[in-house]
């Protein structure tokens, strides 16, 4: 694997991680304020559809402004669904998970229905042309700096040449951190997710804070969806969010509801996907695999004892890992090479999330008041 290949994989990582990052930050704002949101997927999908449709319809008249009109339309659609979620779960104190599921279904059905009646293309939008898509931005001096060894390719291939939304998403990470942890608003937002009664006692409106958080969530999901349809692809295809909203939720848990860690988690998930795209099957020396499996099993047994998990469960998992190791030894031998299938790489983010949830790598503690509607009279 040469240097250029690594750069290309990282470049792909950034593209794949951006929608996850935006959705993850969206979920962060919402969940930190105590509103669980599994409707990220649906909001992204609705935003992708709205942005692609508006960008397409505006292209003849508006030229290069069309894509921005699309972005606004995407944000609008997503915020609309967010407000619906807010209405159900804040005002009417409904179950947040059910409301989220409903939003996913609503978006999945509505996008295809409206798409069918407007464009008559089976729920797709027509392919976007130049004015309707985000162009890639080349950073200043990318022409001149390209010749510098090591730094040049990193700057030109990896950092430069993405669409503007990628840089916006990256900027949102420090911005979210600042807003959440260094402003009065952020303190109140976090407090409302931990102990809304205390916030209420201090004379601050819980309802208004939670609605603000939900709207912020909608804005970020809207950008994520617009990036999918007008940045990465050129148009909407039904169900094109393809589970990215759920991966973002996994990343949110992985990052333990913190913005900078969210960047790390989504980049990791993006990297794993980029690697599995580039190398569908990875050949590893069997000895390496066996060592990894044995170390994993040992870690489970020794480090896992501190967690709440039943020892028999740990022992079972460790035994399975050892059995796989044994199977590799008998089938390929220690000297041979065994192939990691691409499915394994694709499953790795979920496996990691399960490991996090099981409490092996620190504990992921959600905001305490998460999922509970606030009832003032209590």
Residues that bind another protein (CB under 8 A): 5, 8, 12, 15-16, 19, 109, 112, 120-124, 127, 228, 232-235, 237-240, 242-243, 273-274, 277-278, 280-281, 342-343, 346
User: CB 281 → another protein: shortest distance, Å?
Assistant: 8
| CA dist., res. 223 & res. 229, Å (int) | 10
Please report, for the chain, how many H helices and E strands are present, in that order. Answer: 15, 4
Any residues with CB less than 8 A from the CB of 31 and at least 6 apart, and which? Answer: 37, 193, 252, 257, 366, 367, 370
| Under 8 Å between Cβ of 339 and 282 | yes
| CA dist., res. 121 & res. 107, Å (int) | 18
User: CB 112 → another protein: shortest distance, Å?
Assistant: 8
β-strand partners of 284: 338
Placement of tokens 């790390």 in the chain: 264
Considering the complex, state which of residue 189 and residue 272 has its C-beta at the smaller distance from another protein.
272
3-state SS record for 297-314: HHHHHHHHHHCCCCHHHH
Any residues with CB less than 8 A from the CB of 293 and at least 6 apart, and which? Answer: 321, 322, 324, 325, 328
User: CB 138 → another protein: shortest distance, Å?
Assistant: 15
Considering the complex, state which of residue 31 and residue 273 has its C-beta at the smaller distance from another protein.
273
Considering the complex, state which of residue 109 and residue 333 has its C-beta at the smaller distance from another protein.
109
Considering the complex, state which of residue 192 and residue 232 has its C-beta at the smaller distance from another protein.
232
Considering the complex, state which of residue 85 and residue 133 has its C-beta at the smaller distance from another protein.
133
In this structure, what DSSP letter does residue 38 have?
-
| Under 8 Å between Cβ of 129 and 63 | no
User: CB 237 → another protein: shortest distance, Å?
Assistant: 5
Minimal CA–CA distance to 253: which of 18, 37, 95, 97? Answer: 37
Considering the complex, state which of residue 57 and residue 275 has its C-beta at the smaller distance from another protein.
275
| CA dist., res. 218 & res. 145, Å (int) | 38
Query: What are the angstrom distances between the C-alpha of 355 and each of 151, 232, 248, 316, 362?
Result: 36, 31, 16, 15, 10
User: CB 134 → another protein: shortest distance, Å?
Assistant: 12
User: CB 123 → another protein: shortest distance, Å?
Assistant: 6
User: CB 54 → another protein: shortest distance, Å?
Assistant: 18
User: CB 214 → another protein: shortest distance, Å?
Assistant: 26
Query: What are the angstrom distances between the C-alpha of 165 and each of 21, 134, 170?
Result: 11, 8, 9
Considering the complex, state which of residue 125 and residue 176 has its C-beta at the smaller distance from another protein.
125
| CA dist., res. 18 & res. 80, Å (int) | 22
Tell me the angle at which helices 3-32 and 164-182 cross, rounded to the nearest 10 degrees.
40
User: CB 4 → another protein: shortest distance, Å?
Assistant: 8
């Amino acid at each position: 694997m040469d240097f250029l290949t690594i750069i290309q994989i990282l470049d792909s990582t950034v593209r794949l991680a951006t929608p996850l990052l935006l959705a993850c930050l969206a979920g962060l704002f919402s969940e930190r304020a105590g509103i669980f949101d599994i409707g990220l997927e649906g909001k992204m999908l609705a935003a992708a559809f709205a942005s692609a449709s508006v960008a397409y319809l505006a292209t003849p008249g508006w030229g290069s402004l069309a894509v921005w009109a699309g972005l606004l339309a995407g944000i609008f659609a997503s915020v609309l669904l967010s407000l619906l979620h807010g209405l159900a779960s804040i005002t009417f104190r409904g179950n947040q998970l059910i409301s989220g599921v409903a939003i996913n279904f609503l978006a999945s059905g509505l996008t295809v229905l409206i798409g069918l009646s407007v464009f008559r293309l089976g729920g797709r939008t027509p392919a976007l042309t130049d004015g309707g898509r985000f162009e890639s931005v080349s950073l200043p001096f990318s022409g001149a700096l390209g010749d510098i060894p090591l730094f040049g390719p990193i700057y030109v291939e990896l950092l430069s040449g993405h669409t503007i939304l990628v840089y916006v998403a990256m900027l949102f990470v420090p911005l979210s951190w600042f807003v959440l942890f260094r402003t009065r608003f952020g303190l109140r937002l976090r407090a409302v997710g931990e102990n809304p009664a205390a916030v209420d006692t201090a004379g601050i409106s819980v309802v208004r804070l939670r609605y603000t958080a939900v709207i912020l969530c909608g804005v970020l999901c809207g950008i994520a969806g617009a990036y999918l349809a007008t940045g990465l692809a050129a148009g909407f295809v039904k169900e094109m969010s393809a589970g990215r909203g759920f991966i973002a939720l996994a990343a949110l848990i992985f990052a333990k509801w913190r913005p900078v860690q969210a960047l790390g988690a989504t980049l990791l998930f993006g990297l794993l996907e980029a690697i599995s795209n580039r190398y569908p099957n990875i050949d590893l020396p069997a000895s390496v695999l066996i060592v990894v499996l044995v170390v994993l099993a040992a870690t489970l047994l020794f480090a896992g004892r501190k967690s709440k998990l039943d020892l028999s469960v740990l022992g079972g998992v460790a035994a399975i890992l050892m059995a796989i190791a044994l199977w590799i030894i008998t089938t390929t031998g220690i000297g041979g090479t065994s192939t990691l299938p691409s499915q394994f790489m694709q499953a790795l983010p979920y496996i990691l999330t399960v490991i996090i949830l099981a409490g092996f790598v620190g504990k992921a503690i959600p905001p305490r008041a998460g999922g509970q509607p606030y009832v003032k009279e209590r």
